[in-house]
Amino acid sequence: MQAAQIPVTPRGQARRTAMIQAAKAVFLEHGYERTTLDMVIDQAGGSRRTLYECFGDKAGLFRAVIELHTHELLEQLQALPSSTDAPEETLKDVARLYLRMLLSPEAIGMYRLLVAEAPKFPELGQAFYLAGPLSIRQHLTQYLISQHRCGTLHVPDATIAARQFVGLIKSDHQLGALLCPPTENCLEQRSEAEIDNEIAQAVRLFINGLQAKPVT
């Protein structure tokens, strides 16, 4: 069911945003199938009529939640370093951003939700993938190409190297976060210094593997 086309006023936009945020919380807690529109209305206020006018139905509301999350991912990518930055610090910055995008409690919840509902909403799963994981990898690929051209790193295939770097940083952290209770998430139990140390070791290993001068 398609939402009706109604004029968007500041008040209307605020009401719409409140419903999306409430729906995100409810979907993350209960999943798509067990979520009802009444649950969302209870949190956001308003009426069923307003919800239908804004989103059409539960599927439309779910799309709006994923579209907002995808937009937020794209905004985070603005923090990625430029191609003029030195390799060691650049790769550390990329790794930190990637882990934040991957392992925050909300990110883990959204990942579970999207995997569960991807067969019903394949276009949303694709949009999420393009905005998050693929965008970071493409940015990293272009950075590695630039470093290869200027001779800082030796990167015969930047696409493969970018995939390998992401895998090195990701390690088993996401799997642990997905399968273990929050209190047992290994990254949550580590200090920022410990996480930074692990990132530094991974970056050093990666740079040395690209025949750069070893980082000491």
The string over 196-209, giving b where at least 16 C-beta atoms fall within 10 Å of a residue's C-beta and e elsewhere, is eebbeebbbebbee
Q: Is the pTM of this model over 0.85?
A: no
* DSSP secondary structure letter of residue 79: G
- Amino acid making up residue 109: G
Helix, strand, coil % in the chain, rounded to nearest 5: 75, 0, 25
User: Which mean pLDDT values do the consecutive 10-residue runs of the chain (216 residues) have?
Assistant: 54 84 94 93 88 90 90 79 76 89 87 91 88 88 91 93 94 85 57 87 93 56
Do residues 148 and 154 lie in contact, with contact meaning Cβ atoms separated by under 8 Å? Answer: yes
Residue whose token pair is 């630039």: 146
**Nearest partner of 15 among 52, 68, 62, 54, judged by Cα:** 54
Measuring CA to CA, which residue among 166, 165, 161, 164 is closest to residue 132? 166
Tens-digit pLDDT profile for residues 76-132? 877 776 666 689 989 998 998 888 888 888 889 999 999 999 898 999 888 888 888
Spatial CA neighbour of 65 closest among 43, 84, 95: 43
Given this model, what pLDDT does residue 23 score? 94
CB-based contacts of 51: which residues, under 8 Å, 6+ apart? Answer: 19, 37, 40, 41, 61
Those residues whose C-beta lies under 8 Å from the C-beta of residue 112, and which sit 6 or more positions away, are 178
Per-residue DSSP letters for 169-180? HHTTHHHHHHHS
pLDDT digits (tens, 9 = 90+) for 72-92: 888 887 777 666 668 998 999
